[in-house]
Amino acid sequence: MAEEFLRIDRLVKTFDGNTVVRNVDLAFNEGEFVSLLGPSGCGKTTILRMIAGFERPSAGRILVQGRDITGQPANQRKIGMVFQAYALFPNMNVAGNIGFGLKVAGTPREEARARIAEMLKLIGLSGLEKRFPFELSGGQQQRVALARALAPRPRMLLLDEPLSALDAKIRVALREQIRAIQRELGITTVFVTHDQEEALSISDRIVVLNAGKVEQFGSPFDVYNKPASRFVATFVGTLNTLTATVADPAARTVAIDGQVVTIPALPATARSGEAVALTMRPEAVSLAADTPRDIVLDGTVSEVSFLGSVIRLKLDLGTNAIHLDTFNDQRTPPPAFNQKVKVTIASSDVLVLEQ
């Protein structure tokens, strides 16, 4: 069983009377990669800065391996941090930047030189130690920033949206490299992002934050497939939300634009004629010809979006619309615009969200 490494205990942060972090309780395991995910202003970077020691909590505690570090200065926490804007020293070459923390710590010259060479190999930049930041690409600069954070052998690594300034292809490659390095070193890592795909692809667990509160803390599988709230369901991934009318609560039937279907469950308080919100992911919806399932709906194709290996269709059901994803098959073209089709959904893939 993994050992607990970092605990955030009833953490609160208030700026000028505005509370941006609200009683956050979290526990991260040693060697775990955890992402703090949420929209701008949700408190994720503030939490990271409090872990690093750059901000003092208004209330609550931060414990590392059972020791309270809440009042400990940042330079005594043995934490490596990588910022969004690289923050490399322009007057230092790559070796100088990577070795900065070692120099401050008074590391002997030969030991520092060996550690710099080790870091250059780790990030795949051996031979570039004499270059200056302006001679590097954005991705290379961020790798140097990562190496600088790791060189002093910190006990924890914090990353504050380190990939947001990079283009899409480089971002994907670098996040994979960061994850590979983290696994190789076994270092406990907290990664801040607003990009759900990033969080889902590289995390052991994800903290979904909204307005300073934790909406859900779980594995990528659970956060995506078993959202704990309406916010998580709508923020993480693409979601279909259909407004239906309760037809017969006892039979668990609802009407979607006049089409009556049976769903797995309804709220205990549901009454005939009341509106409910039904949700399902686009990949849970199939063209009727593909897979027979519990729920069948008639619709009209209103959009066809070619996304490479996937084709996304939008179907009008009446007042509702539903999106579905289907694989691009060269032998079978997708339905055409304005074509009438049937779609099917497994009832187990339908969630009823609280209003």
Domain chopping of the chain, boundaries: 4-235, 240-353
CATH assignment of 240-353, among 2.40.50.140, 3.90.1580.10, 3.40.640.10, 1.10.10.10: 2.40.50.140
Please, are residues 304 and 313 in contact by the beta-carbon 8 Å criterion?
yes
Amino acid at 210: N
The model's pLDDT over 53-99, given as tens digits with 9 standing for 90+, comes to 999 999 999 999 999 999 999 999 999 999 888 789 999 999 999 99
Q: Are strands 259-262 and 253-256 parallel, antiparallel or unpaired?
A: antiparallel
**What pLDDT is recorded for position 54?**
96
pLDDT value at position 210? 97
Band (238; pLDDT cuts 50, 70, 90)? confident
262-283 pLDDT tens trace: 998 888 888 999 999 999 988 8
- For 194-233, write each residue's pLDDT tens digit: 999 999 999 999 999 999 999 999 999 999 988 888 899 8
- For the chain, percent of residues with pLDDT exceeding 90: 74
Compute the distance between CA of residue 209 and CA of residue 38 in angstroms, rounded to an integer.
Answer: 5
Q: What percentage of the chain exceeds 70 in pLDDT?
A: 97
Show Cβ contacts of residue 188 under 8 Å, excluding neighbours closer than 6 positions. 5, 6, 28, 29, 30, 31, 32, 155, 156, 157
Q: pTM of the entire structure? A: 0.86
Residue 299: pLDDT over 90? yes
* 329-347: average pLDDT: 88
CATH superfamily, domain 4-235, is P-loop containing nucleotide triphosphate hydrolases (3.40.50.300)
Crossing angle of helices 168-185 and 138-150, in 10° steps, is 20
